[in-house]
C-alpha cells in the first residue's frame, strides 16, 4: 500500500483515542474503531493493527454489564452485529460461545421488552438487524433466534397492515425487511410485504439527498444503491470529489457514523473498492 499521509494521521488519532473512547457501541464507540483496524490490518498486512483491534474487543466485552443499552447505535445490538460482521468476513475465528450472553439478552429484549420505535438506531429495526446477522452466521440453527426473529417480523407486519409506522422510520423498516427476505426461510412469508412497502411514498419517491438523515452523503448514496437497486455511480463519483476536498479537521469524535473512524474506512475504500462492505452496517 502506497504512503497516504492523511490516512496515517487518522490511524494515529484512532490508536491514541480508541481505547480512551467511553462508548463501546458501533456508531460512536470502540466497536466501530475495531472494524476499521481489522480492515486496515488486512490491507497493510501488519498484524499489530489486528492485535490492537483484538484489544478493543476485549475491552468491549469487559464493559458489557446488566445495564447496557440494547440499542443498535450505542448498545448491544450494534456491538453484536459488528462482531458477527467480523466473523462472517473472516477477520475473526468463530467461537461457539462468544454470542451466548448477547443472544440471551437480545432474546429477552425482543420477546418481553417494549420497543421505543421502529428505527434502526434505537428501535425494532435495529433489534431485527441483530437477529438477521446472527441467522446469516453460526446462529442459523438456533430455535430461540428464529423465535425472536419471527416475533419482531410479525410485529412489524401487523404495524404495516395498520399503517402505523411513522414515515421517517419507514426506510429503516424497509431495509430490515429487505435483509430478512434474503434469508431463505423467511423469503416466502415476507416477500409480498416487502413489495407492498415499495409503495410507501418515501420509497416510491425516493429522495437520495434526504433519506437516512443520520448518515453522511456518501454513506447515504451507497446505502440507496445497495438497497433500492438504482445506479448512483455518477452521484457517488461527485460526492467522492466533494469528500476529498472537505477539511477533516472539524471532526470532533472518533465515531463510525461521522467521525475519524468512517474517514479512515473511506480512505480504505479509495485504495480498494472491495473494502466498502462495512457501509451496510449503517
Q: Is-contact 14 26, C-beta < 8 A?
A: no
Are 95 and 142 in contact, with CB atoms under 8 Å apart?
A: no
Region 252-271: what's the mean pLDDT? Answer: 90
Neighbours of 181 (CB within 10 A): 19
Q: How far apart are CA 233 and CA 10, in angstroms?
A: 27
DSSP assignments along 10-23, one per residue: HHHHHHHHHTT-S-
| Lowest-confidence pick of 68-82, 92-106, 188-202, 205-219 | 92-106
pLDDT class for 94, splitting at 50, 70, 90? Answer: confident
Pairwise CA distance, residues 49 & 272, whole Å: 18
Q: How far apart are CA 195 and CA 193, in angstroms?
A: 5
pLDDT digits (tens, 9 = 90+) for 38-60: 999 999 999 999 999 999 999 99
Least confident of 75-79, 81-85, 212-216: 212-216
Q: For residue range 221-254, what is the model confidence (pLDDT) as tens digits?
A: 999 999 998 999 999 999 999 998 887 777 778 8
Q: How far is CA 54 from CA 32, 45, 51, 65, 234, in A?
A: 12, 15, 5, 19, 38
Residues 110 and 77: beta-carbon distance below 8 Å: no
pTM: 0.95
pLDDT-wise least confident of 69-78, 86-95, 128-137 = 86-95
Question: Cβ contacts of residue 273 below 8 Å, gap of 6+?
Answer: none
Amino acid at each position: 500500500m502506497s504512503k497516504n499521509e492523511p490516512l496515517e494521521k487518522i490511524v494515529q488519532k484512532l490508536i491514541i483515542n480508541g481505547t480512551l473512547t467511553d462508548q463501546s457501541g458501533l456508531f460512536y464507540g470502540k466497536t466501530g474503531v475495531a472494524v476499521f483496524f481489522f480492515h486496515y490490518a488486512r490491507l497493510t498486512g501488519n498484524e499489530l493493527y489486528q492485535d490492537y483491534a483484538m484489544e478493543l474487543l476485549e475491552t468491549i466485552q469487559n464493559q458489557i454489564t446488566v445495564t447496557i443499552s440494547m440499542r443498535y447505535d450505542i448498545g448491544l445490538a450494534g456491538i453484536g452485529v459488528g462482531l458477527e460482521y467480523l466473523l462472517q468476513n473472516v477477520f475473526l475465528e468463530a467461537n461457539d460461545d462468544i454470542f451466548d450472553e448477547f443472544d440471551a439478552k437480545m432474546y429477552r429484549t425482543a420477546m418481553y421488552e417494549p420497543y421505543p420505535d421502529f428505527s434502526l438506531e434505537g428501535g425494532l429495526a435495529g433489534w431485527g438487524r441483530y437477529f438477521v446477522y446472527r441467522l446469516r452466521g453460526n446462529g442459523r440453527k438456533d430455535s430461540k433466534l428464529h423465535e425472536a426473529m419471527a416475533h419482531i417480523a410479525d410485529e412489524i407486519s401487523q404495524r404495516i397492515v395498520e399503517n402505523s409506522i411513522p414515515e421517517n422510520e419507514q426506510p429503516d423498516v424497509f431495509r430490515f425487511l429487505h435483509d430478512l427476505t434474503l434469508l431463505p426461510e423467511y423469503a416466502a412469508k415476507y416477500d409480498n410485504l416487502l413489495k407492498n412497502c415499495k409503495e410507501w411514498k418515501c420509497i416510491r419517491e425516493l429522495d437520495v439527498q434526504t433519506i437516512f438523515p443520520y448518515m453522511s452523503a456518501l454513506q447515504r448514496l451507497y446505502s440507496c444503491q445497495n438497497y433500492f437497486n438504482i445506479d448512483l455511480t455518477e452521484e457517488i463519483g461527485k460526492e467522492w470529489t466533494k469528500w476529498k476536498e472537505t477539511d477533516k479537521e472539524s471532526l470532533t469524535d472518533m465515531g463510525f457514523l461521522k467521525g475519524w473512524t468512517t474517514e479512515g474506512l473511506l480512505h480504505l475504500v479509495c485504495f480498494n473498492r472491495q473494502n466498502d462492505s462495512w457501509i451496510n452496517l449503517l
